[in-house]
Chain A
Amino acid sequence: DIVMTQSPDSLAVSLGERATINCKSSQSVLYSSNNKNYLAWHQQKPGQPPKLLIYWASIRESGVPDRFSGSGSGTDFTLTISSLQAEDVAVYYCQQYYGTPLTFGGGTKVEIK
C-alpha cells in the first residue's frame, strides 16, 4: 500500500498570510507513460464532506479560488494557500489515486492565528 504522510498535523496562520502543507508518499505516484502525478488535495470543513480542490498535483478543480495551488512531483507535494481567508479554516487531505488501495494522508488542520 502507498502510505501518505502529511505535515504538519496542524497550523495556525494569520488572515492574509501564507499556509503551506506538505505531503509525502511512500512510493512515487508519477506515472511515467503520461508524466502525470496521481495526487489530489481535498478540503473538509467542519460538519461537511470533503471537497476536491486539486488533482494531477497542480490542477485546480473548477470553482476553486486561485489562492489555492499545488506543486511537487514523484513523492513530495505541497498545497499552498497564498492568502488565508476565514472560510479556508478546514482540514486538508492529500490522496493518491495511482493505485488501489486508494489512500489518504492523515490530514492537516488549518486555523486562524
Chain B
Amino acid sequence: ETGVTQTPRHLVMGMTNKKSLKCEQHLGHNAMYWYKQSAKKPLELMFVYNFKEQTENNSVPSRFSPECPNSSHLFLHLHTLQPEDSALYLCASSQVGTAGTGELFFGEGSRLTVL
C-alpha cells in the first residue's frame, strides 16, 4: 500500500469509447503526475499538477484530457484512443518544496488495452 490508489486496475476499450482513469492520494502531497509506461518508452511523463494547477504537459495528444479537481484527486479522461495508446498508466504524487520534489509515490497503475 503506497497511499496512492488507482482505478480501474484493468481497462479494455474500443477506439470510439470514452473512459476515465482515477487516482487518489492519501499522503497530503501537493503534486500529482500521470506517467505512461509502454515497452517502447518506459515511464514517459504526461502531465504534472501542482496545487491543482497544470504545470507541465509533455506534448500529449488531446485525446488524453487530465483533470485535477483538488490536490488529492487526479483523473485522466480518454476519448477516441488508438491501439498504440495501450499501456500501463501510472499515477504518482510527491511533496514539492523549495528544494524541489521529494520521492514519488506511485500507484499500482491502470493497464489499458485499446482494441
Q: Do A and B come from one complex?
A: no
